[in-house]
Structure 1
Amino acid sequence: MADRPVTTRFAPSPTGYIHVGNLRTALFNYLIARKSGGSFILRLDDTDRERSKQEYADGIKQDLEWLGLEWDRVERQSDRLERYAEAADQLRAAGRFYECFESPTELDLKRKKQLNMGRPPVYDRASLGLSEDEKAKMRAEGREGYWRFQLDQSRIEWTDGILGDISIDAASVSDPVLIRADGQVLYTFASSVDDTDMGVTHIVRGADHVTNTATQIQIIESLGGTVPAFAHHSLLTGAGGEELSKRLGTLSLRDLRARGVAPEALLSLMARLGSSQPVELRMTLDELAEGFDLSQFGAAPTKFDAEDLFPLTRARNQQLPFAAVASQIAALGVPDALAEGFWKVASHNITTLDELGPWAELVLNGAEPLVAPEDEGFIAEAMALLPARPFTAATWGEWTGAVKAATGRKGKGLFMPLRKALTGMEHGPEMADLLPLLQVIRAK
């Protein structure tokens, strides 16, 4: 494998929008390719004609583009059905493919019987010895045949990039169904053919695929391919250890994006979550790739809390240059002359960029004064001392100095009532920076 260019792939099914668990797989494979100067393939596993939708395929691409995970080429498994048929013929000729006729009900009864007898529910290969006459009789009875791959019942071993040395007894695994009775090519087969044909060298995916990997190693070998380097990352759980589900919705990438999560925050967390390395904000994919190391990841289930994305998002937004948000600030109606100063103030007082709206409202239209009854006279006297426009960075200090001299107030008793009267808030940015931006002051 050393002389082959590094090639990785992300192979989602376009049957729904991708979520954080999918992203983890995509990102790991992307970073391996990026770090080595290799290729990253986006391969749409769309052989399920009923459930695969173009809107989901488009959504997957949009999510990856939002994150900056650029692919070198796109492949669709639905375009490769003839190739799968050729590979199936190759396996038949090699005696590794056999047709089966049991119904789902019959298979379920077999499994239950095996379990009741204390045996593993492994397919008994009853169809392997069927004669052509017996198969013809099955078809005449209306049974539809499906195809299984005949495993070599030896131990399947590999050194996993995360889990270490793995050894699985193929006799403990059912011969996998590769083509359904309706002709649909299943993932295990299509993926093995694709990985062989496309020269995939490294595959990172979830720990729930370990058994699939064992069978795919034999399928790839039977096709004459070179087995890729496999690694299986831990599965994500919720913050309380509960199983994550796509049905939760809020963990889809599009929903996280709608909540204002920054792409750099999401990538930075996913690139380190479950590893021995600390999570640190990285602003570029090159920085993430440079520090990425599969060997630092563990096998234990990994807790994911979406709330951890928001401190990272806040830190990212504080680092954004004004040019990156200039058009968004202009769209809020903030005058060009104030825009850069507005960003300086707002950037340190928001978590998501959606929160710029209320700050623009404050600057453009002022705030409802928050004045305690005992401060009403003080605020009236202070407002009378407010200098004429234009306000500058020095205005706040000059004004509060004059108010202090006139009223004798100082410290919190001076500054807090003035802040609340001007902004309607008890906390916020430095008033020396904010005051010059305020176009309307209602506390008069």
Structure 2
Amino acid sequence: MIVSRFAPSPNGSLHLGHAYAAIVAHDLVRERGGRFLLRIEDIDGERSRHELADEFRADLEWLGLEWEEVPAQSTRLASYEETARELLHRGLLYPCTCTRADIQAAEPRFGPEGAIYPGTCKGRLLDPEKPAALRLDVDRAMAEVGEIFWEDELAGLIMADPRPFGDVVLVRKDAPASYHLAMTLDDAADGVTLVTRGQDLFALTHVHRVLQALLDLPVPDWHHHPILVDETGQKLAKRRGSPSLADRRLAGEDGRELADALRAEEFPTGISLVST
């Protein structure tokens, strides 16, 4: 059975971009007789506001979506810690105390997510009392997994190559896991067979596919859909104050009509759908 999910972080209200992503995931699995899951990704420290989870549920119900809720990330910390210990024991992770300023000062190369970590801490003796992130030794990881692929329903078969990202962080200094590690483990635990998300996250799949290979996890298919942007061409985002679904809902707007309009690609003035 096909299984997909919508996995918002409770660090701000949902907006139209989230609604579109949830509807795509919901409709893809429902038309194939599958399951649509809701997972709250709530391990972002003080930025996570647990009261927003109820707001998210109200928003999805207002849109007319039906879902099964799975345990939130905050209940899964032991699995992240255990996996990090395993990868560290295998020599695939190393501690890093560098700050963003340190990385910028090293005049790094730039990749899909910005500055590529130059490997400053790799092989160095570090102060055990100083907070450290754990980074994936991507060259060692690729040597272990060899040539692997992943399948996107829109883009086809892709060879996995995370090296343009450099040695990504898997365990943050300020959180029990990075998005890369937590999402990969959670999708496997929840039985997700189709990962639906925006095309702006397409390149990250190279990293996630390698983690699946290293950890011998099931390999889903992916569906990276176009994203909604504002009149300036920027992706809708909480941090830029994109109008929230909750505000629309509380103002009396019909959520099911809004959902049908998004399905028909009929967007409010200033909002458009683009492929990245």
User: Quick check: 2:160–2:209 contact (8 Å CA) kept in 1?
Assistant: no
- Name 2:78's counterpart in structure 1: 82
Q: Which residue of 2 aligns with 1:123?
A: 117
Q: Deviations over 1:212-248 (max 9, x none)?
A: 2110111122111112111211221225645433356
250 and 86 in structure 1: CA distance in 2 versus 1, 3 angstrom threshold: closer
Task: Tell me the amino acid that sits aligned with residue 63 of structure 2.
Answer: L
Match of 1:146 in 2: 133
1:228-281 C-alpha deviation (Å, 9 max, x unpaired): 1112112212256454333565631122224443222211122232xxxxx6xx
Contact 1:10–1:43 (8 Å) recurs in 2: yes
Q: 1:178-193 to 2 correspondence within 5 Å?
A: 178-193=170-185
Instruction: After TM superposition, give the deviation of residue 178 of structure 1 in Å.
Output: 1.3
- Which residue matches 1:305? 268
Deviation per CA, 1:384-443, whole angstroms, max 9, x where unpaired? xxxxxxxxxxxxxxxxxxxxxxxxxxxxxxxxxxxxxxxxxxxxxxxxxxxxxxxxxxxx
Equivalent of 1:32 in 28, 35, 45? 28
- Correspondence for 1:46 among 27, 32, 42: 42
Does structure 2 retain, via aligned residues, the 8 Å contact 1:8–1:200? yes
- Helix, strand or coil at the partner of 2:121: helix
Corresponding residue SS for 2:45? coil
Q: Aligned partners of 1:13 and 1:242: how far apart in 2? A: 20
Cα 1:166–1:260 change in 2 (3 A) is farther
Structure 1 contact 155–170 (Cα < 8 Å) conserved = no
Question: Aligned letter for 1:163?
Answer: A
Shift of 1:149: 1.8
CA distance in 1, matches of 2:201, 2:241: 23
| Aligned residue number for residue 246 of structure 1 | 238
Number of residues of Structure 1 aligned to a counterpart in Structure 2: 263
TM alignment of 1:285-304, pairs within 5 A? 304=267
What CA distance in whole angstroms lies between the structure 2 residues aligned with 1:155 and 1:102? 31
2:45–2:174 contact (8 Å) kept in structure 1:
no
Percent identity over the alignment? 33
Q: How far apart, in 2, do the equivalents of 1:75 and 1:178 lie?
A: 21
User: In the alignment, which residue of structure 1 is the partner of 2:169?
Assistant: 177
Aligned residue for 1:270?
A: 262
The 5-angstrom pairing of residues 382-393 of structure 1 reads: none
- Residue 103 of structure 1 is matched in structure 2 by 99
Q: Which moved more, 1:215-224 or 1:182-191?
A: 182-191
Letter in 1 for 2:26: Y
Q: Which residue of 1 aligns with 2:62?
A: 66
**Given the alignment of the two structures, is residue 211 of structure 1 paired with residue 174 of structure 2, yes or no?**
no
CA–CA separation in structure 2 for the residues paired with 1:239 and 1:305: 11
Q: 1:12 aligns with which of 3, 8, 13?
A: 8
- Tell me which amino acid in the other structure corresponds to 1:143: K
Q: Who is 1:160 aligned against? A: 152
Alignment partners' CA distance in 1, 2:175 and 2:242: 35
The residue number in structure 2 matching 1:199 is 191
Distance 1:250 1:125 in 2: 37
Larger radius of gyration: 1
Q: 1:227 to 1:143 in 2, by over 3 A?
A: same
| Deviation of the 1:196 alpha carbon | 1.3
Letter in 2 for 1:222: L
TM-fit CA distance, 1:162: 2.4
Cα offset, 1:143, TM superposition:
2.5
Q: 1:47 to 1:266 in 2, by over 3 A?
A: same
Unaligned runs of 5+ in 2: 272-276
Letter in 2 for 1:199: G
Tell me the TM-score normalised to structure 1 length: 0.54
Counterpart secondary structure, 2:257: helix
Asked whether the 8 Å contact 1:250–1:256 carries over to 2, the reply is: no
Q: Distance in 1 between matches of 2:119 and 2:234?
A: 37
| Structure 2 counterparts to residues 363-402 of structure 1, below 5 A | none
Partner of 2:219: 227
Report if the CA contact (8 A) 2:150-2:209 is conserved. no
Equivalent residue letter for 1:94: R
> Is the strand fraction higher in 1 or 2?
2
Cα distance in 2 for partners of 1:211, 1:100 equals: 23
Counterpart code for 1:233: H
> Cα offset for 1:23?
1.3
* Higher RCO structure (Cα 8 Å, ≥6 apart): 2
**5+ long unaligned stretches in structure 1:** 274-278, 280-303, 309-444
Structure 1 residues 145 and 233: alpha-carbon distance in aligned structure 2, compared to 1, 3 A threshold: same
Q: SS of the residue aligned with 1:193?
A: helix
Question: 1:75: Cα distance to partner?
Answer: 1.8
Amino acid at match of 2:17: G
